[in-house]
Structure 1
Amino acid sequence: MKLISIRRRTKKERRYTQKMGVLYTDVTYIKKYAVGIPFKTLRKYRGTYYGKIKECDDCVLAN
């Protein structure tokens, strides 16, 4: 059994951008797990309609 592992998980999230308004997109999280418990998010990104990869810090969460 591994003590430390890295997993990638994709889920739908609601985002808001100035240009496009409300956007429902797939957000991919890459997390580091120790003995099955997540303790650090290494990267969080989303894919655009045109195939580009953007960091999630570029857009804010919608309320």
Structure 2
Amino acid sequence: MRLISVIRKTRNERRYTPKMGNFYTKVTYIKKVILGIPVRTLHKYRETYYGKVKDCESCNLAK
């Protein structure tokens, strides 16, 4: 068993952008894990309808 590892997990989330409004998208989280306990999120990104990968900072969770 490794002491420190990096895991990638994808889940569906509701997002909001001014142009599209509310929509559901798959958001992938890359987390640093020590002894099976998640310590911090290193990066999170989402894939658009056209296959383009975007950072999650461009869309808000609320209006």
Q: TM-score range by the shorter chain?
A: over 0.9
Structure 2 residue runs without a partner (length 5+): none
Q: Counterpart of 2:49 in 1: which secondary structure?
A: coil
The residue type paired with residue 54 of structure 1 is K
Q: If the length of structure 1 is used for normalisation, what is the TM-score?
A: 0.96
Partner AA of 2:18 in structure 1: Q
- 1:25-48 per-residue CA deviation (whole Å, 9 max, x = no partner) reads 000000000000001111100000
Q: Percent identity?
A: 63
1:1-40 map, 5 Å: 1-40=1-40
- Which amino acid counterpart does residue 10 of structure 1 have in structure 2? T
The answer on 1:47 being equivalent to 2:47 is: yes
**Which one-letter code corresponds to 2:19 in the other structure?**
K
What SS does structure 1 have at the residue aligned with 2:22? strand
Count how many residue pairs are aligned between Structure 1 and Structure 2.
63
Question: Which sections of structure 1, spanning at least 5 residues, go unmatched?
Answer: none
Alpha-carbon displacement from aligned partner over 1:3-51 (angstroms, at most 9, x marks no partner): 0011000000000000000010000000000000001111100000011
Amino acid corresponding to residue 15 of structure 1 in structure 2: R
CA RMSD of aligned residues (A): 0.9
TM-score by length of 2: 0.96
